[in-house]
Amino acid sequence: MKNQISKLFVFTTKINRQHIQVAFAFLALVLFVLGAGAPDDGGGVLPR
Amino acid sequence: MILLVAILAGLAVGLFIARLKKRPWTVPPLHKPWLVIIAFLPQFFTLYLPGTRTWVKDDLAAAGLIVSLALLLVFCWFNRRLSGVWLLALGLACNLLVIAANGGFMPISPQTASRIVLPEILATYGNGDRFGTKDILLPPEQTRLIWLSDLFLPPKGFPYQVAFSPGDVFVAAGAFWLMLTQGKTLKATKIRMVKDRE
């Protein structure tokens, strides 16, 4: 248990500013295509 | 879904090429990515979030979609030097044009819609009704800029049926190209190749 906690601590210290920037850029790109595109696969189309 | 596949495909091919060339793959250096999040918020609340989309009126949702797309176009301007962004902007502009020309939603014809939903569900919809997330059911004779609307479909029998527009094709191609090239222009790639040779 103690070993796992120390591993988790090491992992979290490795998350630096660059990782956050990469994740943020990916999020932006995903949101961009979701926002800009308008395909329709019929998902969520319910009887009125 | 179909557009997210383009990002993942671009990432996979980009990683593969980077590995072949023994270079690290880096995420495209997007400028002002926070602008995308701000631009997406109107769509999130008026079109996606079930708790709010049900009580937002169609007029407000339409206005939210147009404002959102316009803000995304501004984002493209800030990132115009990245390769692939001009394709993204072209697709976005196509979708914005047809959406704005048809009351704020993407038109889809009943014939196209019949391929993606069951007939008994489609029968409950009338002309001009909102359909799906961003679409509006309109017959071709009432659709402006019909050639930019959701008119493409995969072949019959394809397991995933989805209606998409020419704008969606450009957006998917742009996302793929951006991920593949990591946003680097052709000129920058050539300069790098020359430096590598030296």
**A22-46 pLDDT per residue, tens:** 888 889 999 999 999 988 888 777 7
Q: Which residues of A touch B72 (CB under 8 A)?
A: 32, 35-36
A20, B174, B110, B124 alpha-carbon torsion, rounded to 10°:
0
Contact between A38 and B43 under an 8 Å Cβ cutoff? The reply is: no
Strand partners, B106: B135
% of chain B at pLDDT higher than 90 = 78
Per the listing, tokens 């959406």 go with B99
- Contact state of B175 with A40 under an 8 Å Cβ cutoff: no
Sign of the C-alpha dihedral computed for residues A40, B70, A31 and B181 taken in this order = positive
| Domain membership flag for residue B193 | no
> Which two structure tokens, joined as six digits, stand for B95?
């979708």
| Domain membership flag for residue B192 | no
Give Cα separations from A6 to A19, B50, B172 (angstroms): 20, 41, 42
Residue A41, pLDDT score? 87
Residue A18, pLDDT score? 74
Report the complex ipTM: 0.89
- Contact state of A41 with B95 under an 8 Å Cβ cutoff: no
Provide the number of structural domains found in chain B.
Answer: 1
Contacts with B197 (C-beta within 8 Å, 6 or more apart), sequence order: none
Residue A47, pLDDT score? 78
- Per residue in B23-66, pLDDT (tens digit) is 888 889 999 999 999 999 999 999 999 888 888 999 999 999 99
Residue B166's domain comprises 2-21+31-183
Q: How confident is the model at residue A17 (pLDDT cuts 50, 70, 90)?
A: confident
- Contact state of B163 with A32 under an 8 Å Cβ cutoff: no
User: What residues of chain B score a pLDDT lower than 50?
Assistant: none
CA angle A30, B17, B179 (to 5 degrees): 15
Residue B146, pLDDT score? 96
Q: Is the pLDDT of residue A8 over 90?
A: no
Contact between B165 and B148 under an 8 Å Cβ cutoff? The reply is: yes
| Domain membership flag for residue B178 | yes
| Domain membership flag for residue B189 | no
Residue A3, pLDDT score? 76
pTM (2 d.p.): 0.87
- Contact state of A40 with B163 under an 8 Å Cβ cutoff: yes
Query: Which residue of chain B has the CA closest to A24?
Result: B33
How many interchain CB pairs under 8 A, A with B? 132
Across the interface, which of A22, A30, A39 has its CB nearest the CB of B164? A39
| Domain membership flag for residue B101 | yes
- Contact state of A33 with B175 under an 8 Å Cβ cutoff: yes
Neighbours of B156 (CB within 10 A): 7
How far is it, in rounded angstroms, from Cα B164 to Cα B120? Answer: 22
How far is it, in rounded angstroms, from Cα B118 to Cα A41? Answer: 12
